[in-house]
Structure 1
C-alpha cells in the first residue's frame, strides 16, 4: 500500500502483485501556491488557475506524481494535458492514470505498446451512511451476494469501498475505448480472491473491443489500515 510520507515528498512504491510502480505524495492544500506549477515545469490550465485552492493542490500534486512516473519511464519532458471530459492526455507511447484522495495524490504509467489503458484509484474505507449510500447507488443485487460471502473475513465497509474503487479504476482505464462516462451497472462484480488481491468482473453491456456482454476481467486490489487501492490494466 501507499505508506505515509512527509508532506511534499515524492515516493515510489511497487504494486504488491505486479511490476507497476506507483509514484505518490501527500500535501497540505493550505500551504499550496500556484508558483509551484512554474517551479516544477508543470503547465497550469486556465480552469485550474481559477479553481479553489484545494482543487489546484490536487491537480498539481497529481501532475507532479505523473511527471515523476514519466521521467522514470524515460519521458523527460512530457506534459499530461487535459481532455474535453477532464481526462488526462498522456504523451505518445504512454498509458497512465492519476488519482487523488484527501491529501494524497498518486500516478502510474505503463507502455502503450503493451497496455491500451490503465486506471488506478485510492479510497478511504467508508462507514455508516457512506457505506449505505454505496450499497444503494453502485451495487446491484447479484453483487451483494458476492460481497456477503466475504463479509466475515474482510468486513462489509471495506468490500463496498473496494467495489466502488474498482469500478472507478475500470472507468478510467476503459475511457479511451468508450469515450464516455459509464454507469455503475455496466460491469458486475462476480468474484473476490483475497489471497491474490483480485476482483473479478463481468461486462453487462457492449462497450467495444473485447468488452462485450459476458466478458470477464480482473482488477487488482490492496487493502490495509482503512485504505483501499485498485488497479485495472487494459491490454493493447
Structure 2
C-alpha cells in the first residue's frame, strides 16, 4: 500500500492566504505562485516525515519541494474540492488525482503551481533571467540555428538577448514537462525549435525534430505562452487535444 504525505487543512488555508493567483490565457487552468521562505516558516515544524528520495537533500531543496507540494494540494482543495494527497513517500513525481493535470516549477525564492481538470497535458516553467556569462556559454546548448537567426533578424524585439535565451530555455522546459507523460525520456534542447516568436501577444510556436515527433507520435506543433515579471520569465504550454 502506497503511503502519502498529507497536508493539513490549516496549512492549506495558510498557504492560499499567502499565495498570489496568476491569470493565464486559459480559463480551465488554476495557477498560483508563493514565496518559498514565507511559506516555509509555517510548515517546517508541521511536516515531520520526509520521503526517502529526499533523505540526503539540503534544507533549500526540502523547502522548495514542500512548498510546491503544499501549494498544489491547497489549490486542489480550494478550487476543485479535492483532498487527495499527491506526495508519495516512495514515488518521486507528484501523483495527481485521476482527471487532473498539474505542474510545479520553482526558481530562487518562488514556486509556481498550475492545475487543470480539462487539459490533456500541461507544462509550466519559471526562470530567473540569466546573466551575460551564462547566456554566452549556453548559446550552442540551448539555441538552434533557426532560433539564433530569429534573434539576429530582430523577431524578438524589444527583448534583450539575456531575456531571449531565458525565454527560449523556459519555453522548451514547459514543453518537455507537458509531453513527458507520453515521452518519458530525455529530449535534448536542440531537438525542439521555437519557430515563431510573437512578442506582442506573448506567444510562441514550437516544433520537435521530425524523428522525435514520429518516434513518440507528438503533435506537429505546440503553442507556448509567457510573462515577464520582476526579473523572471514564466512560461506555459497547454494541450487540450
The answer to whether TM tops 0.5 is yes
CA deviations on 1:98-123 (whole Å, 9 max, x unpaired) are: 01110111101011xx3221111111
Structure with the larger helix share = 2
The equivalent of 2:84 in structure 1 is 78
1:117 to 116, 121, 128: 121
The equivalent of 2:67 in structure 1 is 61
**Partner SS state of residue 99, structure 1:** strand
- How far apart are 1:49 and its partner, in Å? 4.2
The verdict on how the C-alpha distance between 1:104 and 1:225 changes in structure 2, with shifts beyond 3 A counting, is closer
Query: How many residues are aligned here?
Result: 220
- How far apart are 1:72 and its partner, in Å? 3.2
Does structure 2 retain, via aligned residues, the 8 Å contact 1:99–1:106? yes
Tell whether 2:172 aligns with 1:178. no
CA deviations on 1:77-96 (whole Å, 9 max, x unpaired) are: 12223599843221111000
Q: How many angstroms apart in 1 are the aligned matches of 2:88 and 2:173?
A: 18
The equivalent of 2:100 in structure 1 is 94
Instruction: Point out the more displaced range, 72-81 or 152-161.
Output: 72-81
Does structure 2 retain, via aligned residues, the 8 Å contact 1:169–1:231? yes
The equivalent of 1:200 in structure 2 is 205
The equivalent of 1:127 in structure 2 is 131
Q: How many angstroms apart in 2 are the aligned matches of 1:145 and 1:86?
A: 39
Q: Give unpaired runs (5+ residues) of structure 2.
A: 1-14
The equivalent of 1:3 in structure 2 is none
Does structure 2 retain, via aligned residues, the 8 Å contact 1:23–1:68? no
Instruction: Point out the more displaced range, 56-65 or 219-228.
Output: 219-228
Does structure 1 retain, via aligned residues, the 8 Å contact 2:225–2:235? yes
Give 1:1-236 correspondences, 5 Å limit: 9-15=18-24, 17-19=25-27, 20-28=29-37, 34-37=44-47, 44-81=50-87, 86-111=92-117, 114-148=118-152, 149-204=154-209, 205-206=212-213, 207-211=215-219, 215-236=220-241
- Cα RMSD (Å) of the superposition? 2.6
Does structure 2 retain, via aligned residues, the 8 Å contact 1:119–1:171? yes
Q: Give unpaired runs (5+ residues) of structure 1.
A: 1-5
Does structure 1 retain, via aligned residues, the 8 Å contact 2:53–2:90? no
> TM-score if structure 1 supplies the norm length?
0.83
The verdict on how the C-alpha distance between 1:73 and 1:31 changes in structure 2, with shifts beyond 3 A counting, is closer
Instruction: Point out the more displaced range, 141-150 or 172-181.
Output: 141-150
